[in-house]
Chain A
Amino acid sequence: MRTINNIINSVAEKKAIHIWIVLGLLIFLSAFMLYAYGFNLSGGHDYYFHNARFEALMKALQNGMFPVYIDYDGVNGYGYLPKLFYSDVILIPFAIIGNLTSTQTGYLSILFTMTVLCGLFTYIVVNKIYKNSFAAAVSALLYTFCMYRLYDLYHRAALGEVLSFTFLPIVFLGLYYIIKGDYKKWYVITIGFCLTIFSHLISSVVLFITVIIILAIYYKDLKKEPKRLLYLAIAGGASLLILAYYIYPMAEQLLSNTFYLNTDTWSYPDKNKINPYHIIWGMTNGLPLPDQGFSPRLGLLLTLGIIVRIFIRNNGKSPLLRSADILVILGLLFVFATSSLFPWSVFPFSKMNYLQFPWRLYEFSSLFFAVAGGYYLSILLKSNVRKFVVLCFITLFTVLALLGDGKYYNNFTVQYRDTYEYINMDNHYYISGLEYYPAKVPSTHYIQKRGIVIDTKDSTTNITNFARNKNITTFDVEIKNPDQLELPLLYYKGYKATLNGENLTVEQSDNGLLALAVNQSGRVEVYYKGTAVQYICFWISIAAIVALCIYIFLSKKRKK
């Protein structure tokens, strides 16, 4: 017993090795996660959508089309362009891995790497702010393997949101520097924000609102040193440059047309609220049972983490304790906002329909509860042995959660999809809510029925030698009168068409497809070329990133 005590105490004193222990634990648990859930990811709701994105990027890198490309195999060959709406930046290194190995390996490497990084970033951030490695380790484990993240990873296969989990802690470290710390490190919030936006746009919007709320809470610090606000503005400006590759081409595309995402109402938050019993159930639910439906929830560990608050004695509130309390209150408000009691259909919340699911807020509640829980426990547990016991508990619990949920995922979620569903037009080729269809497209059924043909207005027009070679569609056209052709391609800004080497104007047909006006016979070639904005913005981003790296390097050097 005493030897164990001594070992624990000596480990506790060697602060430098803590991060390595945590990293080891994270790698072990992440690997265990892959093992527990198995390699079949097809059970997740949005898996096929994200996998198609990933494969399109892999192909673009292989063909050398990157950075301007379209998923030309998508939607039965009609070409789908989620890339402009859903950023691919974070996926790039993994797509390279995928090209070197296999798509599956590449995809799994995203999950593994992002999980390890999620824990690592959380550890570093909490350790920097709260200066307590035990609190940081607890927070990292609680957050990285929280129920909602597991739900996103496997059951929803919501890759974008999963990636955003990893970068949230960086944003809050940046925010800490802006509000309380060394505001000269303004670039931390820039980096965090850019990575989050490159991962997932909806999460970033919620993040933006959250950041504003926190700034409002800590307005006193900003009032005292208005300079801090200036650096925040600099951070914002830098972000706008770094993000150029993603946001301006998206804006261009959104302005050019209306899409399903503008017109659909199935995903309004008001329709996806959770009833309060279910919320509380989710907060007290320890491990997923193999036979029960999995639903978004917070999970027991996070709830326990914040409940221990009532055992902390108030001997003069420290600013750190106050900050943890603020996080908990904010997190609870977010939880409340997911409930059916919250008026999502009333202004101003009715303006936030793009949020789709109110329970997306769980991502933030989970982070806040994890950080607060870690900090509370670090205050309550004074002896190293007890700290060790708690860490063991959390690890064991996590292992059990992964095992149990993995079992459920394989026995139920995957089976259900394999047995009852397969990819076809009835499930819209699994491209989620078809958000990026031009609004004029009647339905997926229409596309399926229409088939791979070119429609002409004039019956005397003759189309021959229709061929598709990767992203290039070619055919011969023979006309008697000038005619309007409708191609089996979804209309997006950036298509280029030539007839006998001369440019044709590309328009949108009434069915949301590509329309060409032809006034002579000859050979037509159509492919997605992209817009000038896309190319320019790509280089703006590259330049801005390089510039920021140089700035950071220089300012670090100066400090030394």
Chain B
Amino acid sequence: MKTVDRIINYISSNKKSHFGLFLIVLTTLSLLMIFCYDPVYRGDDFYFHLRRLNALADALRDGTFPAYIDYKALQGYGYLSSVFYPDVILIPFAALSFVTGTLFAYNSMLLIMTILCGVFMYKAIYVIYKNSFAAFISGLLFCFCNYRLFDIYNRAALGESLAFTFFPIILLGMYYIIKGDYKRNWYVLAIGYTLLIYTHLLSSVIAFILIVLFLLIYYKPLKEEPKRLIYLCLAAIVTVLMTAYYTFPMIEQMVSNSFYYKTHSWVDPTLYSTSIYWLLLGMIEGLTQPEQFFFPKIGLFLTFGICLRLFVRGKSKELKSIDIFVIVAIGLLILSSSIIPWGKFPFKELRVIQFPWRLFAFVSFFFAIAGGYYLSQLVKSRRRMAIASFFVIAFAALIIAGDSQNYRRTVRADQVLTTPNITNHYLGGGKEYLPSRIESTDYICKRGDEVITNYNTTRISNFIRSKNITSFDISIANADHIEVPLIYYKGYKAVLNGNKLPVVQSSRGLIEITANQSGRVEVYYTGTTLLRVSFWISIISILALCTFVFVSRKKKEVINLSFH
């Protein structure tokens, strides 16, 4: 017993070891997660994201990055998910997949992003609340909360599950803007928000609304020092510049055409709001039983954390901020429930979020912070801290162990790793990024590799698809409108005997060109000018920010040195 006490005392008095200890625990649990949930390919959207990763890897290999299309999709008709769904976070892992294969790269992505998620959470909480125990607990609560595991594996919603990683950076950025040293650290918010946008758009939209909400709640410090607002605007401008690569081409594409996500909406939030009973049930569900079906939930782990509030005494600024988080999170919980009329204004306008329980990601985030902080206020002796940490670690391990069993037994247990195809939703659940004019994917499959002409005097021969280039010979009697078997997106280029042809959308949502002479036609996706320009805007602004941060840090060091 005494030796145990001595170890506990040694660790708690040696502050530098705290982060190291956290990192060891975090890495172990993350590895356990990867190991337990194998195989990773059973989740709902797995093949969609796998295809994105593969298309990116192909583009890097072919040298077409950053202007590329998934030309293997839809039997060569091409699918432009890369413009609608940001690919930046995937880049290093796509590169890794050259060496290791896709599955390993995918798993390493999950591992690294989980570890980073914990590390960022720890750092953010440690900086804001200056309490390593709270940071330790919050980090674990957040990383291994039920909804995150659900997102990573059961839903395989890669974008959303990676988005978790950057919430803490945004929180820290907001802290600097509202309360902290905004002059030196304003860019943290810009970095965090940029990373979030580059990961998952829907989460960024919700995060934006929450940022505005918190600015309103904390309007007093902003009123006292309006300068803070200026730095906020600076951060916003930098964010816009850094995210140019994604936002502008996407807007351009959205404006240019109408797509399935708008016209063929298949997910109605009113159908997916959580009934109060299931909401509460999910809040107090501890461990998953191997046979039960899984549903999005907050989990006992987090609920228990906020219930501790009842035992916390006293008042402080920190406690107040945590209480605000909890209240906001409870508000979000109510929003995700069926008592909110998602079919009516103003909620109707938010139907892009598809599943109201997406808000659980943010609820989990706030609850994790609160749980860690409340616990740190209640558990004061070192020995009890050790016991509490042990419990949290053990419980996280048990959640992983039990939930993964459930995943392996109940989620498409018969599914094996196959190539992505129509039946496994590799175009996304709602085939969101098909132009609305496309009748159906079945039609595309039936239509095949045929080039359709208006006149039967027009002859097509030597049709070849070679990587991203579709080419064929054409011989005409009259000028003819021909329909090429490629899905229409802005950014395609068609060349006939070296001359550029105008590309328009056919009535069936495919590419149509007008041939006025015989010869060889080549059609391929080059991306729009805006895409290439925005890419460089992003690169330059990111480099500029890096330089700025580096220089200002150095200056700080000089100042610090001169003080000593």
Flag whether A510 is at the interface (Cβ < 8 A): no
| Chain A, residue nearest B284 (CB) | A286
Asked if A281 and B311 make an inter-chain contact with CB atoms under 8 angstroms apart, the answer reads no
Docked complex: A256-309 residues within 8 A CB-CB of B: 277, 280-281, 283-287, 289, 291-293, 300, 304, 307-308
Tell me whether A289 and B277 are in contact in the complex, defined as CB-CB below 8 angstroms, given that A277-B402, A381-B311 are known contacts: no
Minimum C-beta distance from B299 to chain A (A): 10
State which of A54-62, A184-192, A397-405, A454-462 sits at the interface with chain B.
A397-405
Most B-side CB within 10 Å, residue of A281, A284, A291, A308: A284
State A319–B391 Cα separation when bound (angstroms). Answer: 27
Asked if A400 and B280 make an inter-chain contact with CB atoms under 8 angstroms apart, the answer reads yes
State A283–B284 Cα separation when bound (angstroms). Answer: 11
Asked if A283 and B286 make an inter-chain contact with CB atoms under 8 angstroms apart, the answer reads yes
| Chain B, residue nearest A283 (CB) | B286
Cross-chain contact of A311 among B280, B286, B378, B395 (Cβ < 8 A): B378
List A contacts of B391 (CB < 8 A): 307
Flag whether B387 is at the interface (Cβ < 8 A): yes
State which of B287-295, B413-421, B484-492 sits at the interface with chain A.
B287-295
Minimum C-beta distance from A396 to chain B (A): 8
Asked if A280 and B398 make an inter-chain contact with CB atoms under 8 angstroms apart, the answer reads yes
Flag whether A320 is at the interface (Cβ < 8 A): no
State A285–B399 Cα separation when bound (angstroms). Answer: 12
| Chain B, residue nearest A385 (CB) | B310
State A397–B300 Cα separation when bound (angstroms). Answer: 13
Asked if B378 and A300 make an inter-chain contact with CB atoms under 8 angstroms apart, the answer reads no
Most B-side CB within 10 Å, residue of A280, A283, A289, A291: A289
| Chain B, residue nearest A397 (CB) | B284
Asked if A390 and B300 make an inter-chain contact with CB atoms under 8 angstroms apart, the answer reads no
The total of Cβ contacts below 8 Å across the A-B interface reads: 72
Minimum C-beta distance from A150 to chain B (A): 15
Minimum C-beta distance from B475 to chain A (A): 65
List A contacts of B311 (CB < 8 A): 308, 311, 380-381
| Chain A, residue nearest B377 (CB) | A311
Cross-chain contact of B286 among A300, A381, A400 (Cβ < 8 A): A300
List B contacts of A286 (CB < 8 A): 281, 283-286, 300
State A286–B280 Cα separation when bound (angstroms). Answer: 9
Docked complex: A377-393 residues within 8 A CB-CB of B: 380-381, 386, 389-390, 393
Flag whether B304 is at the interface (Cβ < 8 A): yes
State A293–B289 Cα separation when bound (angstroms). Answer: 9
Asked if B387 and A280 make an inter-chain contact with CB atoms under 8 angstroms apart, the answer reads no
Minimum C-beta distance from A409 to chain B (A): 16
Asked if B387 and A310 make an inter-chain contact with CB atoms under 8 angstroms apart, the answer reads yes
Asked if B300 and A284 make an inter-chain contact with CB atoms under 8 angstroms apart, the answer reads yes
Cross-chain contact of B281 among A287, A380, A390 (Cβ < 8 A): A287
Q: How large is the interface on B (under 10, 10 to 19, 20 to 34, 35 or more residues)?
A: 20 to 34
List B contacts of A277 (CB < 8 A): 287, 398, 401-402
Docked complex: B378-436 residues within 8 A CB-CB of A: 378-379, 384, 387-388, 391, 395, 398, 401-402
Minimum C-beta distance from A406 to chain B (A): 12
Cross-chain contact of B310 among A281, A386, A403 (Cβ < 8 A): A386
**Interface of B: prevailing SS:** helix
Tell me whether A311 and B281 are in contact in the complex, defined as CB-CB below 8 angstroms, given that A285-B286, A381-B311 are known contacts: no
Minimum C-beta distance from B141 to chain A (A): 15
List B contacts of A390 (CB < 8 A): 310
Cross-chain contact of B384 among A281, A289, A310, A404 (Cβ < 8 A): A310
Tell me whether A287 and B293 are in contact in the complex, defined as CB-CB below 8 angstroms, given that A277-B401, A310-B387 are known contacts: no
Minimum C-beta distance from B281 to chain A (A): 5
State A310–B378 Cα separation when bound (angstroms). Answer: 9
List B contacts of A285 (CB < 8 A): 285-287, 289
Asked if A300 and B292 make an inter-chain contact with CB atoms under 8 angstroms apart, the answer reads no
State A400–B277 Cα separation when bound (angstroms). Answer: 8
Asked if B289 and A292 make an inter-chain contact with CB atoms under 8 angstroms apart, the answer reads yes
Docked complex: B284-339 residues within 8 A CB-CB of A: 284-289, 291-293, 300, 304, 307-308, 310-311
State A416–B293 Cα separation when bound (angstroms). Answer: 19
List B contacts of A389 (CB < 8 A): 310
Asked if B292 and A292 make an inter-chain contact with CB atoms under 8 angstroms apart, the answer reads yes
List B contacts of A280 (CB < 8 A): 287, 398
State A100–B287 Cα separation when bound (angstroms). Answer: 47
State A237–B285 Cα separation when bound (angstroms). Answer: 48
| Chain B, residue nearest A389 (CB) | B310
List A contacts of B310 (CB < 8 A): 380-381, 386, 389-390
Most B-side CB within 10 Å, residue of A283, A287, A403: A287
Tell me whether A404 and B286 are in contact in the complex, defined as CB-CB below 8 angstroms, given that A281-B402, A310-B387 are known contacts: no
State A286–B285 Cα separation when bound (angstroms). Answer: 5
| Chain B, residue nearest A292 (CB) | B292
| Chain A, residue nearest B287 (CB) | A281
Asked if B379 and A311 make an inter-chain contact with CB atoms under 8 angstroms apart, the answer reads yes
Tell me whether A300 and B300 are in contact in the complex, defined as CB-CB below 8 angstroms, given that A281-B287, A283-B286 are known contacts: yes
List A contacts of B289 (CB < 8 A): 281, 285, 289, 292-293
State A267–B175 Cα separation when bound (angstroms). Answer: 62
State A292–B285 Cα separation when bound (angstroms). Answer: 12
Asked if B280 and A284 make an inter-chain contact with CB atoms under 8 angstroms apart, the answer reads no
List B contacts of A403 (CB < 8 A): 277
Docked complex: A397-424 residues within 8 A CB-CB of B: 397, 400, 403-404
Asked if A291 and B384 make an inter-chain contact with CB atoms under 8 angstroms apart, the answer reads no
State A381–B310 Cα separation when bound (angstroms). Answer: 8
List A contacts of B379 (CB < 8 A): 310-311
Asked if B388 and A289 make an inter-chain contact with CB atoms under 8 angstroms apart, the answer reads no
State A310–B287 Cα separation when bound (angstroms). Answer: 22
List A contacts of B284 (CB < 8 A): 286-287, 300, 397
List B contacts of A287 (CB < 8 A): 280-281, 284-285
| Chain B, residue nearest A303 (CB) | B286
State A349–B289 Cα separation when bound (angstroms). Answer: 30
Asked if B378 and A291 make an inter-chain contact with CB atoms under 8 angstroms apart, the answer reads no
Asked if A404 and B300 make an inter-chain contact with CB atoms under 8 angstroms apart, the answer reads no
State A293–B277 Cα separation when bound (angstroms). Answer: 19
Asked if A292 and B398 make an inter-chain contact with CB atoms under 8 angstroms apart, the answer reads no
Tell me whether A404 and B281 are in contact in the complex, defined as CB-CB below 8 angstroms, given that A284-B300, A285-B286, A308-B311 are known contacts: yes
Minimum C-beta distance from A499 to chain B (A): 61
Minimum C-beta distance from A291 to chain B (A): 6
Asked if B401 and A292 make an inter-chain contact with CB atoms under 8 angstroms apart, the answer reads no
Asked if A284 and B286 make an inter-chain contact with CB atoms under 8 angstroms apart, the answer reads yes
Contact with A along B260-289 (1 / 0, CB 8 A): 000000000000000001001101111111
A interface residues (Cβ-Cβ under 8 A, vs B): 277, 280-281, 283-287, 289, 291-293, 300, 304, 307-308, 310-311, 380-381, 386, 389-390, 393, 397, 400, 403-404
In the assembled complex, 13 residue pairs joining A and B whose CB atoms fall closer than 8 Å, in A order, are A281-B288, A281-B402, A285-B287, A286-B283, A286-B284, A286-B300, A289-B292, A292-B289, A293-B291, A300-B300, A381-B310, A381-B311, A393-B307
B interface residues (Cβ-Cβ under 8 A, vs A): 277, 280-281, 283-289, 291-293, 300, 304, 307-308, 310-311, 378-379, 384, 387-388, 391, 395, 398, 401-402
Additional pairs, 13, CB under 8 Å, beyond known A286-B285, A286-B286, A310-B388: A277-B401, A277-B402, A281-B288, A284-B287, A284-B300, A285-B287, A286-B300, A289-B281, A292-B292, A304-B307, A307-B304, A307-B391, A404-B277
Sorted nearest first, the 10 A-B pairs with minimum C-beta distance are A284-B286, A286-B284, A292-B292, A281-B287, A311-B378, A287-B281, A380-B311, A284-B287, A311-B311, A289-B292
